């Protein structure tokens, strides 16, 4: 069993690591499902404030992977998200290289849909890159991505946690105006989205500074090798050095992208399908699809067994039959201050008592149990103690007569007073 965080999240195995901490596959004991848990690595004021900002985001959208819950334990904090097992766009490009244009356009449209939901909440992501775009396991079917990692995201108008001359973001995906210290805005996310689209179609990691200088030299340059002209027109509108010349909203980009896809040729039947498979790997030993597997073969925490000093587990002692003890005779209680009475010795069987009638028991008393061994003689029958006589209640006769005389005298005095008055 892995480490249990805050009594709820059981950390199983690490599945990723970023600048702010590690991401673990974890078992949520309350909701009984697997989640991704991001454990904060640093505990300084800036890191904690970024953590508070990130876990406070609650954006419900099929293409956004926002935090779902959080917990704190001593000096560590974590928040959880849905577990996405298909890896990132970086894994996909590493496996296949440049993607088919229609497949890349589908991924780009989903990314823009997620960004549209994020921008609608007034949030600038500030770190759009292939490693932060995760994929569900869909096989060779329609892909499904989720935009993740809101560690440096901020709402427009919020106070910045860094100095104005300090650039926050991943080198190569930072918009040129951000390099000059401008306030974070939505066009900066769209510039990074254009770089991601270029990466999907060429299979080569772009450099934002080189793209910026390329556009400054040539205006709108011709499409790179392998990029269809209709899609290049959309990407060029995202990569303009001047933010005022770019697309202003993700919705506008999606409309232009839909029109460009209609101009793309259909892919041939011999084209290699792109498969999105599980990148995390199987669960470690002791865990199943429904959670931790107990020692008894069921699901749930395994019962703890005490171990002996040698490391073995003791077995329960065998149950032995206890011998039946013969019943002991019951003797009457001995009065205080007297010696215990010696049990009477039974008369010999050969001596005649002269009374052929067996002794009788008092009415209402059960017959004593006969002993099955000669070692213990039968106990004498219990006798009932005579009931004590209860004194009559009330005053004595002399006291009653005196009270009666006084009462008659009082009555006579009252009658005389009435007659004379």
Superfamily of domain 4-83+281-292: Phosphorylase Kinase; domain 1 (3.30.200.20)
Quote the distance between the C-alpha of residue 11 and its chain's center.
11
Alpha-carbon distance of 243 to 134, in angstroms, equals 27
Per-residue pLDDT reduced to its tens digit, 105-159: 999 999 999 999 999 999 999 999 999 999 999 999 999 999 998 888 888 877 6
Alpha-carbon distance of 175 to 187, in angstroms, equals 8
* Averaged pLDDT, 205-222: 92
Q: How far, CA to CA in Å, does 296 sit from each of 91, 267, 285, 289, 311? A: 39, 53, 14, 16, 20
Asked if residue 303 has pLDDT above 50, the reply is no
Exposed/middle/buried for 69, CB within 10 Å: 0-12, 13-18, 19+? Answer: middle
Per-residue pLDDT reduced to its tens digit, 57-79: 778 999 999 888 888 887 788 88
Per-residue pLDDT reduced to its tens digit, 19-50: 667 899 999 999 999 999 988 865 655 666 66
Alpha-carbon distance of 230 to 227, in angstroms, equals 9
Q: Is 6 left (phi over 0), alpha (psi -120 to 50) or beta?
A: left
Asked if residue 285 has pLDDT above 90, the reply is yes
The pLDDT of residue 181:
86
89-261 to CATH, choices 1.10.510.10, 3.40.630.30, 1.20.1630.10, 3.40.50.300: 1.10.510.10
Beta-carbon count within 10 A of 105 CB: 23
Asked if residue 275 has pLDDT above 80, the reply is yes
By mean pLDDT, which of 148-152, 176-180, 267-271, 407-411 is the weakest? 407-411
Task: Report the candidate in 169, 168, 221 with the shortest Cα–Cα distance to residue 198.
Answer: 221
- Contact call for residues 46 and 59 (beta carbons, < 8 A): no
Beta-carbon count within 10 A of 317 CB: 6
The pLDDT of residue 310:
37
Q: What is the pTM of this model?
A: 0.68
Alpha-carbon distance of 128 to 195, in angstroms, equals 9
Catalytic residues: 127
The pLDDT of residue 312:
38
Give the relative orientation of helices 101-120 and 250-261 as an angle to the nearest 10 degrees: 160
3-state helix, strand, coil in the chain (%, to 5): 30, 15, 55
Alpha-carbon distance of 169 to 114, in angstroms, equals 19
Asked if residue 347 has pLDDT above 90, the reply is no
Q: What is the largest CA-CA distance in the chain?
A: 145
Exposed/middle/buried for 55, CB within 10 Å: 0-12, 13-18, 19+? Answer: buried
- Would you state the structure tokens that stand for residue 46, as one six-digit string? 């800036």
Alpha-carbon distance of 418 to 13, in angstroms, equals 110
Per-residue pLDDT reduced to its tens digit, 308-344: 333 333 444 444 555 555 555 545 444 444 444 445 5
Which has the higher per-residue pLDDT, 154 or 387?
154
The pLDDT of residue 349:
46
The pLDDT of residue 171:
87
- Contact call for residues 58 and 66 (beta carbons, < 8 A): yes
Fold match between 4-83+281-292 and 89-261?
no
> The tokens 């006589």 sit on which residue?
389
Dihedrals phi, psi of 86, to nearest 5 degrees: -90, 10
Averaged confidence pLDDT in the chain: 78
The pLDDT of residue 51:
65
Radius of gyration of the chain (CA): 47
Q: Where are the domains positioned within the chain?
A: 4-83+281-292, 89-261
* Averaged pLDDT, 394-415: 65
- Would you state the structure tokens that stand for residue 144, as one six-digit string? 């499904």
Alpha-carbon distance of 311 to 291, in angstroms, equals 27
């Amino acid at each position: 069993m892995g480490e249990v965080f805050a009594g709820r999240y059981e950390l199983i195995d690490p599945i990723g690591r970023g600048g702010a901490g590690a991401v673990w596959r974890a078992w949520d004991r309350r909701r009984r499902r697997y989640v991704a848990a991001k454990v904060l690595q640093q505990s300084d004021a800036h890191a904690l404030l970024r953590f508070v900002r990130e876990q406070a985001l609650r954006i419900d959208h099929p293409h956004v992977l926002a935090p779902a819950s959080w917990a704190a334990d001593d000096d560590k904090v974590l928040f959880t998200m849905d577990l996405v097992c298909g890896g990132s766009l970086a894994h996909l490009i590493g496996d296949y290289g440049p993607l088919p244009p229609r497949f890349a356009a589908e991924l780009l449209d989903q990314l823009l849909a997620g960004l549209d939901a994020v921008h609608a909440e007034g949030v600038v992501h500030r770190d759009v890159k292939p490693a932060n775009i995760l994929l569900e396991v869909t096989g060779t079917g329609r892909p499904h991505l989720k935009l993740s990692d809101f560690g440096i995201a901020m709402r427009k108008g919020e106070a910045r946690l860094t100095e104005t001359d300090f650039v926050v973001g991943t080198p190569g995906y930072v918009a040129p105006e951000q390099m000059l210290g401008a306030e974070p805005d939505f066009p900066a996310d769209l510039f990074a989205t254009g770089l991601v689209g270029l990466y999907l179609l060429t299979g080569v990691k772009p450099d934002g500074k080189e793209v910026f200088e390329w556009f400054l030299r040539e205006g709108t340059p011709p499409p790179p090798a392998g990029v269809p002209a209709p899609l290049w027109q959309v990407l060029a509108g995202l990569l303009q050095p001047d933010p005022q010349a770019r697309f202003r909203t993700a919705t506008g980009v999606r409309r232009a992208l839909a029109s460009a896809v209609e101009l793309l040729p259909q892919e041939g039947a011999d084209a290699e399908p792109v498969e999105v498979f599980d990148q995390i790997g199987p669960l470690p030993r002791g865990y199943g699809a429904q959670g931790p597997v107990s020692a008894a073969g069921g699901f749930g925490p395994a019962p703890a067994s005490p171990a002996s000093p040698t490391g073995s587990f003791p077995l329960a002692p065998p149950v032995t039959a206890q011998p039946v003890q013969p019943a002991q005779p019951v003797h009457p209680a001995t009065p205080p201050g007297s010696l215990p009475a010696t049990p009477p010795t039974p008369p010999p069987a050969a001596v005649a008592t002269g009374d052929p009638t067996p002794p009788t028991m008092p009415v209402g008393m059960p017959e004593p149990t006969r002993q099955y061994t000669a070692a213990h003689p039968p106990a004498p029958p219990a006798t009932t103690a005579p009931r004590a006589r209860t004194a009559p209640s009330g005053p004595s006769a002399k006291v009653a007569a005196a009270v009666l005389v006084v009462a008659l005298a009082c009555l006579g005095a009252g009658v005389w007073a009435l007659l004379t008055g």
